A and B are shown apart, each in its own frame.
Chain A
Amino acid sequence: MSDNDVVLKSKGLGKSYRMGATKVEVLKGLDLAVRRGEFVAIIGASGSGKSTLLHILGALDKPDKGTVSFEGRDLGRQSGRELNRFRNKMVGFVFQFYHLLDELSVLENVSLPTMASRSILGWFGCRRRAKKRAVELLVQLGLGERIKHKPYQLSGGERQRVAIARALMNKPDLLLADEPTGNLDSVTGNGILDVFEELNKAGQTIVMVTHDDRIAERAGRIITLADGKIRT
């Protein structure tokens, strides 16, 4: 595998949580590489550290040991501003519990990443284009009729699709999803996976966490997390 192809690479990742006197070592020197255009599923038992790993990969958390590099740049060496840019432009995050902002409409939630990276004037400059992109994404995800709704008016599956649209808004190089179907019934969950497959076919790199083997099978590559390391 050529190094140019690798979007995301981690080396010797270590992470532990301290709970009073006891120290829980969750990740123990984990190495991982994700190539551009891959659809990777990370599986593992509950508590094996899947979410922890994904948060570190998306720069929402910091490892105690080891490095994460994205397109060759070490995230650990980046400034706060650069990390914010990374979170805004390079990765899109999909959470198990959707995490939409209740006060904003579906369209506003989806547009949020673009709004967040611009000043008021900048926003007025690109508002049309951003709105068009958000609507396109929502239509693509089957939510064309829902753009004015508020999150609480949507079903779980619909909310997750809004969250996916938000994650894709700034055309990230990498889509990270933490149990995106964990809160949904199997039919709805399959719908979400269909979306992922389609996105992947169009070239989107995806790393998805799940504890369900059958869901993982939809991905191109399955990585098993056990005992703080990748099992090979």
Chain B
Amino acid sequence: MYKLILATRYLLKRRITYFAVLAVALCVFIVVVVMTVMTGLVGDFKEKNHDFAGDCVVSSESLVGFPYYEDYVGKLEASEAVEGVSAVIRSYGLLSPRGRDVNRGVEIMGIDPARHSRATGFGDTLHHRREDVAKAFVPSYDPNLPGCVLGIDLALERDSNGGYAYDSSPRRVGFSISCFPLTARGALAGAGTALANTKTFYYSDHSHSGLARVDDSIIYLPFDEAQALCGMAGATKRINAIHIKFKPNVKLQAGCEDVRRLWAIFKTEKANESQAYLLNTVAVQDWKVHRRTLIAAMEKEQMIMGAMFGFVGIVTVFIVLVVFYMLISHKSKDIGVLRSIGVSNVDIIELFGGFAFMVGLAGSGLGVLGGWQFLLRINSIERWLFAHFEFQVWDRTMFAIGDIPSEVSPKVLAVIVVSAIAACLIGALIPSWQAVRLRPVETLQVNQL
């Protein structure tokens, strides 16, 4: 009982305790805010990459691509694990708005929009044709023209809030697209007189994946057109990649194993074909591995941030330790008194442990509450700062990230609170352990800790 009374009194009556609570609260606040924003950003980025790639990608490193894919696609579609399969042409080309003498390099992706939507999140990135993905390449202003879907940053201007000025229907704009067709041996194929294949496509929609590198450089074309432009539509047709989505109950690695197994069978079957050597350039990867160059950079950042906040955590533990050390050194006389009236060491450690627990609980409670309230308002605060001082955490015209992530994860919170309380306990136990190891008289004499 006296333990409870004393611990509460120490908590309420000593001003230095308020500093301890405040120190804990501040550190918890910072860690909560940063961890939330950071995990939010990384999680969001990964999800967008996942949406872009699907679950599993079978692709060739080489721009030449690989042949005989129809058989393999057939095998995949027959598989229990697979929900959607999309064969894709990937290449590079030049894009120039018709009638203007400018061009820029773009990444070309030739897809069947309906199939690609079943294998990836493509359909949801569309604006005008989101509800009718099969018609993604049909310009609403003239259904007979060949359409193309532009990465949103190629099509629209981004404003300072990260928003776009959408049109109610796509404007009639034509783009001429030039490709450099390759033969199966990887040489430039001389189609016609020039080395490049050129064709005009009309803006039918744009795609907003949320990935800056994709949105400002990609152009989706109808599969057959892209195959022809890239010189892959000859007698032996080729593609560059197959994107696959698994059924919801299929585990990612198990699904990928299945895909790999089917690929091995397929490869053996085709071993004697004339272009079988191209099959050796193909790898089966899950989406994380396929997008690893991008994700790894982000994860590295997160790791460095994590390490930095690990240091903040260590500093917190140290601050808390110092505060408790001072507090308990100050109270070593009390420890002597308690022991002179027969209080056991265990009880004394419990007393200060309880006190530390209360400080930790109060501090992390305050910190979590503060962090949560701050995160609730973080985007309005940023908007206000931008309106009054033109300050933005990141420039929305450059980065394709809209709002600052502010969704608090209960798991992250729990980890932070538990660590904060543990830090307080450690901070309190070291000096109280030292105090009880002394003989009672020693603690009664002037502070010796």
Contacts and interface: CB of A to CB of B under 8 A. Distances in A.
A103 B331 CA distance: 11
A103 B441 contact: no
Interface stretch (B35-43, B267-275, B340-348): B340-348
Interface in B1-48: 1-2, 4-6, 9-10, 13-14
B340 A112 contact: no
A95 B444 CA distance: 10
Contacts of B14: 103
| Interface of A, helix, strand, loop or mixed by DSSP | helix
A104 interface: yes
B53 to A, nearest CB: 60
B1 A120 contact: yes
Interface stretch (A77-85, A204-212, A221-229): A77-85
B6 A113 contact: no
Given A55-B441, A60-B440, A62-B439, A112 B341 contact: yes
A119 B352 CA distance: 17
Given A88-B341, A101-B6, A116-B341, 12 more contacts: A61-B441, A87-B340, A100-B337, A103-B9, A104-B9, A108-B2, A113-B341, A115-B5, A116-B342, A116-B347, A118-B1, A123-B1
B333 A61 contact: no
7 contacts: A81-B344, A84-B343, A87-B339, A88-B341, A103-B6, A104-B6, A116-B347
Contacts of B5: 104, 108, 115
A123 B6 CA distance: 15
Contacts of B345: 80
Contact of A61 (B4, B337, B347, B440): B440
A87 B341 contact: yes
Contacts of A89: 342
Nearest to B439: A61
B340 A93 contact: yes
Which of the listed residues A58, A60, A88, A117 has the most CB atoms from chain B within 10 Å of its own CB? A60
Contacts of A81: 344
A81 B340 CA distance: 13
A84 B336 CA distance: 13
A31 B333 CA distance: 30
A101 B337 CA distance: 8
Contacts of B257: none
A75 to B, nearest CB: 13
Nearest to A115: B2
A229 B441 CA distance: 21
Contacts of B61: none
Given A99-B444, A101-B334, A103-B13, A112 B2 contact: yes
A123 B2 CA distance: 9
A89 B333 CA distance: 21
A88 B334 contact: no
B327 interface: no
Contact of B342 (A55, A85, A101, A119): A85
Given A101-B6, A103-B10, A60 B340 contact: yes
B298 interface: no
Contact of A88 (B9, B13, B342): B342
B4 to A, nearest CB: 7
A18 B439 CA distance: 15
Interface string B422-449: 0000000000000000011100100000
Contacts of B341: 87-88, 93, 112-113, 116, 166
A116 B343 CA distance: 6
A68 B334 CA distance: 26
B337 A116 contact: no
A173 to B, nearest CB: 14
Contacts of B1: 115, 118-120, 123-124
Contacts of B6: 101, 103-104
A177 to B, nearest CB: 13
Nearest to B442: A61
B338 interface: yes
A104 to B, nearest CB: 7
B304 to A, nearest CB: 45
A99 B10 contact: no
B444 A86 contact: no
B342 A60 contact: no
A55 B14 CA distance: 30
B2 A116 contact: yes
A169 to B, nearest CB: 9
A103 B4 CA distance: 12
Given A87-B341, A104-B9, A60 B4 contact: no
A100 B9 CA distance: 14
Nearest to B338: A116
Interface string A159-173: 000000010000000
A49 to B, nearest CB: 13
Interface in B356-371: none
A95 B6 CA distance: 21
Query: Nearest 4 pairs between A and B by C-beta?
Result: A88-B342, A103-B9, A87-B342, A115-B2
